[in-house]
């Protein structure tokens, strides 16, 4: 019953939840998340290793901390990057890494186009530049996450400061990625809800990763060696890719909502109008509750018209105005009629000799008696006139 109440399409939250589920199935979120995870593993990590070779062996410790490498893998990374400069990696290898890293950007373009239902994204040299910028941005975001954590620790309220900095960074990353990849096909205000949703999700995912990932990497390295590290990294990248796509779907649903929030996101309603409507909402709910409450039936019922209010018939003509206050209820009216009828019966007194009094008779009987009396008077007048003639 709880699930049926949550997914009720008659409620705003139920409609959003159903649309999110439909959007996730439409974009094939599980398959695309695995594709992004595999592309990220073969794109970001080679870029990080290449940057580490440019910085030299003195910076490999920080790179290993960013990647949460166990001790054995740290030693392998130190041995691989013991020579400073690009010669240890090779110019040709660097170009190949940069070119192959754009595969991640192309996969993300297809994913975002499916989420936002964009038919075709412009290509060409400009698109290739955006792809390269995307993978460099993602690689920098991996390193920046570690640096922002260190910067937050040096500020007042270290934990809160670090959390706030990482929240802003995650929101900017998830908002700017579709802006860059889609070539500005969508306004930033439509993409911002998805960025906020991703930043909120990472508030729970990042601390969980800080606890899970080092232990999982250490366990995988002890059991399976280097190949175990690869499996663990891909699993964690799958979680991050799933969160990125899921929050993008949430942003798409919120931007397409026909309610007040969707109108605000699309720019169809000003923020001031939304605030006014939100302030009026408690009063509207209070009036609705009072309207639906039962009211006692009395002389001040709202369905009765006052004595000074003129009524209008169905043809629009003014009817006869009321002469006084509204009449009593039907039950009270019937009892009053019975009382008057009994009173009239008691007031009727029988005439002398057992004959009814003509003044008290009503109806057809009174008419017949009146007609008989008038006929006898006319006959008496005719006989009197004949006698006078004789």
Tell me if 130 sits within 8 A of 180, measured CB to CB. yes
157 — alpha (psi -120 to 50), left (phi > 0) or beta?
A: left
Confidence at residue 340, expressed as pLDDT on a 0 to 100 scale = 54
User: What span, in angstroms and rounded, lies between the C-alpha atoms of 270 and 189?
Assistant: 13
User: What span, in angstroms and rounded, lies between the C-alpha atoms of 127 and 121?
Assistant: 9
Residue with tokens 């969508």: 186
Confidence at residue 257, expressed as pLDDT on a 0 to 100 scale = 87
Confidence at residue 363, expressed as pLDDT on a 0 to 100 scale = 47
Count Cα atoms within 13 angstroms, Cβ side, for 149.
11
Distances (CA, A) of 276 to 87, 153, 229, 264, 269: 64, 41, 55, 13, 12
User: What span, in angstroms and rounded, lies between the C-alpha atoms of 136 and 142?
Assistant: 10
29 — alpha (psi -120 to 50), left (phi > 0) or beta?
A: alpha
Residue with tokens 């949460």: 68
Q: Return the structure tokens found at 10.
A: 């008659």
Q: How many CB atoms lie within 10 A of CB 113?
A: 18
pLDDT in tens, the chain (390 residues): 445 545 666 687 888 899 999 999 999 999 999 999 999 999 988 888 787 777 665 566 666 666 666 666 666 666 656 555 555 556 777 788 888 889 999 999 999 999 999 988 888 888 999 999 999 889 888 888 878 877 887 888 888 988 999 999 999 999 999 999 998 888 999 999 999 999 999 999 999 998 998 899 889 888 888 888 889 999 999 999 999 999 999 999 999 888 888 888 888 876 666 566 666 666 655 555 455 555 454 554 444 445 455 555 555 555 555 555 555 555 555 555 565 556 555 554 544 444 555 444 444 454 555 455 555 666 666 677 666 665
User: What span, in angstroms and rounded, lies between the C-alpha atoms of 313 and 41?
Assistant: 81
Distances (CA, A) of 64 to 61, 68, 127, 145, 266: 5, 6, 32, 14, 43
Q: Return the structure tokens found at 125.
A: 């040299």
Tell me if 191 sits within 8 A of 178, measured CB to CB. yes
Tell me if 130 sits within 8 A of 38, measured CB to CB. no
| 3 state SS of 350 | strand
Confidence at residue 234, expressed as pLDDT on a 0 to 100 scale = 93
User: What span, in angstroms and rounded, lies between the C-alpha atoms of 369 and 361?
Assistant: 9
| 3 state SS of 348 | coil
Confidence at residue 1, expressed as pLDDT on a 0 to 100 scale = 47
pTM above 0.75, yes or no: no
pLDDT digits (tens, 9 = 90+) for 299-320: 544 444 454 555 555 555 555 5
Name the DSSP letter for residue 312: B
Distances (CA, A) of 159 to 66, 154, 211: 19, 10, 16
User: What span, in angstroms and rounded, lies between the C-alpha atoms of 47 and 143?
Assistant: 12
Tell me if 173 sits within 8 A of 137, measured CB to CB. yes
**By C-alpha distance, which of 129, 108, 102 is closest to 43?**
102
Domain boundaries, the chain: 7-276
User: What span, in angstroms and rounded, lies between the C-alpha atoms of 284 and 277?
Assistant: 10
User: What span, in angstroms and rounded, lies between the C-alpha atoms of 194 and 248?
Assistant: 5
């Amino acid at each position: 019953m709880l699930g049926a109440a949550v997914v009720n399409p008659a409620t705003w939250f139920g409609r959003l939840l159903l649309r999110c589920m439909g959007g996730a199935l439409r974009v094939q979120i599980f398959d695309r998340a695995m594709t992004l995870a595999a592309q990220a593993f073969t794109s970001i990590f080679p870029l990080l290793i290449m940057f580490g070779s440019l910085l030299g062996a003195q910076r490999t410790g920080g790179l290993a901390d960013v990647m949460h490498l166990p001790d054995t893998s740290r030693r392998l990374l130190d041995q691989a990057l013991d020579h400073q400069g690009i010669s240890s990696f090779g110019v040709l290898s660097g170009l190949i890494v940069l070119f192959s890293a754009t595969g991640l950007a192309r996969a993300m373009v297809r994913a975002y186009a499916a989420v936002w239902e964009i038919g075709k994204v412009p290509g060409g040299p400009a698109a290739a530049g955006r792809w390269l910028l995307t993978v460099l941005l993602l690689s920098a975001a991996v390193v920046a996450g570690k640096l922002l954590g260190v910067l937050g620790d040096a500020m007042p309220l270290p934990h809160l400061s670090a959390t706030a900095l990482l929240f802003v960074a995650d929101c900017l990353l998830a908002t700017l990625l579709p802006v860059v990849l889609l070539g500005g096909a969508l306004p930033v205000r439509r993409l911002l809800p998805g960025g906020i949703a991703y930043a909120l999700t990472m508030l729970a995912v990042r601390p969980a990763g800080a606890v899970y990932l080092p232990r999982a990497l250490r366990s995988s390295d002890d059991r399976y060696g280097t190949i175990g590290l690869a499996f663990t990294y891909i699993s964690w990248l799958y979680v991050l890719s799933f969160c990125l796509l899921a929050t993008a779907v949430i942003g798409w649903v919120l931007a397409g909502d026909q309610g007040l929030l969707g109108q605000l996101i699309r720019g169809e309603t000003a923020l001031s109008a939304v605030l006014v409507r939100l302030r009026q909402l408690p009063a509207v709910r209070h009036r609705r509750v009072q309207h639906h409450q039962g009211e006692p039936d009395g002389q001040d019922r709202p369905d009765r018209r006052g004595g000074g209010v003129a009524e209008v018939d169905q043809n629009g003509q003014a009817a006869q105005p009321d002469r006084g206050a509204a009449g009593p209820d039907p039950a009270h009216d019937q009892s009053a009629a019975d009382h008057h009828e009994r009173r009239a019966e008691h007031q009727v007194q029988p005439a002398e000799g057992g004959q009814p009094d003509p003044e008290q008779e009503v109806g057809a009987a009174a008419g017949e008696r009146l007609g008989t009396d008038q006929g006898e008077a006319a006959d008496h007048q005719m006989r009197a006139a004949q006698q006078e003639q004789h």
